[in-house]
Each structure stands twice: as structure tokens, then as C-alpha cells.
Structure 1
Amino acid sequence: MISIKNDSLDPRFNLALEEYVIKEMDPTKDYLILWQNAPSVIIGRYQNTLEEVNREYVEKHGINVVRRLSGGGAVYHDLGNLNYTFVTTSNDEIRNNFRRFTEPVIKALARIGVKAEHTGRNDITIDGKKFSGTAQYYYQDRVLHHGTILFDSDLQRVQEVLTVRADKIASKGIKSVRSRVTNVIDYMEERISVKEFQQLLEKLLLEDRAEESYVYELSEQELARVNELRDARYATWEWNWGKSPKYNLKKGERFAGGYVEVLLDVDKGQIVNCKIHGDFFGKREVEELERLLVGVRHDPETLKDTLASVQFEEYMAGITREEFISCLF
């Protein structure tokens, strides 16, 4: 097995690297990647990003939001979390067999005194508490299996960053399941750093393989190709937000100038229908605003630009443009 060295903390690069390995590297080889992300929410391929993310929180704290190729639920990564990726050839025995990939991790943890087990379809737990969720992606006859390992993560932030109001959005996307979580370090006899854990885990996983294993460093040409994939997909609004399934949003707020309620239908990241209600006063018909917003990308900066030239007081006296935009998310 070939362990690919990757020191990047950029989630857009790291997810592009996974795509590069499964689609463009030697398909006769097996690969391992151990990697970390700067604070990020990683969205499952078929999820509604807006539904999964506390948008105000992630923007305030500078947390990345990136969609991955595999399905499953949203997860939070920070520098206390370690991710692992296996890429290998798929067959009937491997297809949708999550245990085939979680067992080496469980075995490695057992060798350092941590008793973990595979539970449900795709989780690894300690004492019934989840520390690893896994997912898979298939390309031709290859399978990519990746998972998180909460080693020494900020568990409070895990809950805060993935929490949105349950009644806010009615969506056809796949919702994440919240569960009790824990950190691996709390079950270790000796406290070590995440980097030390990464080095130890790599050593144990490579030792567990019968065939020759070694560490591989990408060439400048390969790194350039990964960055191309990063920029073309994982760094784009269209992939991370616009890829969300069709959804409906309903939100109301009371301001000094009155109560405003907005109902939006959004498809492929664009507003396709807008209705505005409330007890506010204005000189101009609010239907003009509704028509203006249809066809606009459901994104704060885009909407701010769209409304920049509007004399907002004429539509809603005593309500600012910024207050109205807050009702759109």
C-alpha cells in the first residue's frame, strides 16, 4: 500500500487530492492518505448545505464549508481531528462493505490500548460514543473509503457549527443524524499530539498490509493537477452551495419598522420563487422586490449587490436593507 504524504490543511485541496488519487493515479495500486483540515464543515454530496450549516456561526468564525464526492452526512473537521482515506479496487466483497475499511483502524487502535468497535452501518464508537463516521465514493472499478477520527477535537464546536433551526427549511436533501461523540485521546493511557497519533497510525496501518508499503510524495506536476481540480470544483460556490437539492425557506423577524416574513423556493442555488409578507409600511409595492429576487443566487454577497441600488425605505419604512437580507437565510 502506498501512503501519500499530504501536509495541506486546505479542505478544498485535500478533497481534490482524493479525487485525483481515485481517478488519475495508478489503478492497480492501493493508497492511504492521512490528512487534516483547518476548521471546516464537510458536506455530503447529496445534502442541502444551508440546512446542515449554521451559516452565521461559520462566517463569524471563518470556518470553511466544502462539499465532498461521497454521500452521507455533514461532519466538522478541526485540527484535533484526523482523517483517513483508503483507495482500492472494488469488487463484490468490498462494495458497500464499510467494515472492510474500519477494521484496520479498529485493530490499530487496539494495539495502542483503545477498544473501539464498528456500530451501525458506518460508524466507529468507544463505549457507545461515536468518534468516527465513514463514507464511500465509487469511480469505475475503484472505491474511495474515508472517515474522520475525533482525536482531540472541540466537541462543543462540533455541535454549534452543525446546528440550524429544525423548522427553518423544508428540504429534499439528506439530513445529518446527530449523535453522542467523544475523543480518542480521552481513552489513551498517555496523551500524545495529533501529529504523533498520525505518525503512529500510519505505521500501524502500513504494517498491517501483507504487500510492500511505502510513503510517496507528489511531484510538482501532480500537485499542479490537484490544484486544478481544487479550483475547478471544490473552491466554487456552484459546487459547495449551488449543488444543494431544491429547498424551501421560511423565516420571519420583527424589526423597529415591523414584522417581515419571507418565503423562498430555491433550486440549484437560485431563487425561483419569492413571497414577502408582514405588517410593515411602504410607498412601493413589495411585489417589485419579489420579482427582483427571482433568478438571483441565494448567497448573501450576491443578494447584497442585487439590492444595493434599491431605495429600500420606499418598500419597508424603518427596516434596513441589511435587516431584510437577514430574513433570507
Structure 2
Amino acid sequence: MADTNRELADFLRRARAAVDPAGTGLPADGRIRRVPGLRREEVAVLAGVSADYYARLEQGRRIVPSESVVDAIADALGLDDAGRSHLRDLIGHSPLARTRRVSPVQRVRPALHQFLDSLEGQPAIVLGRRSDVLASNRLARALFVDFDRMPAADRNYAKWMLLSDDARQLFLDWDVQARAAVESLRLEAGNDPDDRATQELVSALAEASPEFRQWWGEHRVFQRTYGSKRLRHPIVGDLTVQYESLSLPGDQHQTLFVYSTEPASRSREALGLLASWAATAQAGDGRGSRV
């Protein structure tokens, strides 16, 4: 049907398939399970709705459940916070009469650029919509890649992570980081499905990356709040950095990522050496603090 919300249907089916029936408290009924996960009627029982109602919702029919029903279905499926947010987004967006929309140009405030430059000992990056890299400081450019020297259309974290050979060589846990980038992008795409740039990015990545096609098709979502990355840097060797993400007041679509290392660790020493190298390289290059 033309008015079917296929994204919602796919997400619910895959979420249901990922649930272990043994951990739900449902009594065994003796029937053989031919597919993994819960049956539709079992999700309905756990959520306290009729089997027909849940079936129509999973088929992507035009149903707008109440907040309490959405929460009950999320509980039944064992969704985390990112999954719950994604479910609400998918249910809240009507698939009818959608038009591809051009989002406004993203800009970082001058004071935020100054703040990034002041963090001389900590890499920092600002990501915008669809993981576009809007700003980075000198140490972040030395640790990851100099996004400022890329064509504007390529300054995207997910695109670099999925399509760059340098990224594959840099991250010891590339598959973990690349999957997280894909799942974060899917979370955002569900929040704003009509954004033309997001649709074009997804199409380009799907065409160029088999890993992207596989992970995108799994309908998993992830919200980057904190975590760690393991790197094998060509200049300072192996190190592990932890990151914290901070939403910026005044622009809900901009997120600041600040990276740090454990005190008195090999990683802290390596990051210090990299900071010295970056400062020397910048002086010899004649570049300012921001390109």
C-alpha cells in the first residue's frame, strides 16, 4: 500500500525478532518456533493491546497510538532509550504527502570556534545534522583527519568512517565505530525523514559500502553519548581515547564531542606527543589556528 509506513514496519519486525522469549516471563505454549524472537501476539500480550491492533501497527498502517501504548510496546520489545526515541519518531511521522525538504545551512558560532581552539590538550569536534563535521580543533585534526582540507561535501563523519581507507587503518575497532556511525545516522534519519541531504547521504553510502547496506538494513539505532575509541595512529602508535558528547544550547542539531585519555597512561603520553607534533607542524605549515 502506498500509505504504508515501511520504516516503522521494518523496525518493529526486527526489534521483535531480537527479543529472547525466555526472558519475557511468558509461559511456554509448546509450539515450535520457526523464526527467532517473539510472535506478534506475544508482543501484544506483553504490551496489553489486542493482537489485531499490534499486527496493524507492525504492518505500518495509519494508526497513532497513545504515549502509554508506545511505552508499553517499547517495554515489550526491550528497547533502550535510543530505540524508544526512534519508535516515537517513526510513529509520529505520517508517510503521506511527504516532500523532500532542504535543511538550513549549518554554522558554528565564532565563540564556539574560539572555545575549541582553547582546548589545546584535548581533541574536540562539533557534529551537526547527519554527522556533518562543522568544526574541529588542531588536536582533533591531528588525531583523526583534517576535515577542513576536504571538499565541503565530504566533511561528514559517517562518510569518512565508511568510505575512507585511512579510517579503516586508524581505528583498531573500526567495525564497532563504523556500525555506531550507521546506527546514529539511522536514529537521526528517523527523526527527520524528509531531509533531502540525509536521503542523499544514505543513498550514496548504500551504493558505495556493503557494510553500510548490511547495518542500515538491520534497523538498529544508537545515540552517541559517551564511549571510547581504540586507534593505531601513524605518528604516535596505539592509544585509547574516551569521549563525552555535549548538546549545545541554542542549536539542538549541534553536538560537541570532547576526547580525553586516562591519567598517567600510555595513551595520555601519546596524545601529549601528538599535541606537540601538531603544534610544530602547524607552525611550519603557516596555518592559523583554524582553516
Q: Normalized against structure 1, the TM-score is what?
A: 0.24
Relative to total residues, which structure has the larger strand share, 1 or 2? Answer: 1
Relative to total residues, which structure has the larger helix share, 1 or 2? Answer: 2
